[in-house]
Chain A
Amino acid sequence: DAGVIQSPRHEVTEMGQEVTLRCKPISGHNSLFWYRQTMMRGLELLIYFNNNVPIDDSGMPEDRFSAKMPNASFSTLKIQPSEPRDSAVYFCASSEQGPGELFFGEGSRLTVL
């Protein structure tokens, strides 16, 4: 398996624009997570899905953020409208159900000007 695949790897956009980050989890993994990493706040869990169903979105900062998982092999994280404070590295990760290793993607580095 190629691991967790994220796109784009880098995104530079202007304030107010819509940003869509994409993730393909490892085949067979039931759980998918979106994390945001910044120097100030470290690794923050935004939302996670079990079997394509959102379970906990308490980490989503505000209504500008939304996430979907239409099927077992694809998820998106959307920010609309984007703001400079959204600049961060966004990681997608997946795991088999139950306590076990979390496999991270390479991350999407977002810069909002």
Chain B
Amino acid sequence: GENVEQHPSTLSVQEGDSAVIKCTYSDSASNYFPWYKQELGKRPQLIIDIRSNVGEKKDQRIAVTLNKTAKHFSLHITETQPEDSAVYFCAARGFGNEKLTFGTGTRLTIIP
């Protein structure tokens, strides 16, 4: 089955700086890669996703890049703000498969 690895497990960034979280996946047939944000005590919520026919996607301060050859994808947050502090999960879904496999999460702390 699919295996998703995520790094780093914790990340502290000065407010205003950029944060980058990286994930690798094992199943070359995977074709959908979402990122979820989970605030303390809350549910995970989708912040951005990318499909395998696209190399990069941006939404305001958030961007995701995908390298299918290397089987890795990354989340980039620019101009970080205190409300960006949360746990971020990457995930991958295989072709023709509803199953979403999550990475182990990155706890991002924005230092004011």
On A, residues with C-beta under 8 Å from B are 31, 33, 35, 42-43, 45, 48, 50, 55-56, 58, 91, 95, 97-102, 104-107
Contact = CB atoms under 8 A, between A and B. Distances in A.
B104 A31 contact: no
Contacts, number: 47
Nearest to B87: A42
A106 B81 CA distance: 25
B34 A45 contact: no
A104 B43 contact: yes
Which of A33, A43, A45, A104 gathers most chain B CB within 10 Å?
A43
A50 B98 contact: yes
Nearest to B45: A104
Interface in B33-69: 34, 36, 42-46, 49, 51
Contacts of A33: 98, 100
B25 interface: no
Given A99-B51, A99-B93, A91 B44 contact: yes
Interface of B: 1, 31-32, 34, 36, 42-46, 49, 51, 89, 93, 98-105
A45 B101 CA distance: 7
Contacts of A97: 98
A83 to B, nearest CB: 23
A102 B46 CA distance: 7
Given A45-B99, A45-B101, A104-B43, 10 more contacts: A31-B98, A33-B98, A42-B104, A42-B105, A50-B98, A58-B1, A91-B43, A97-B98, A99-B31, A99-B51
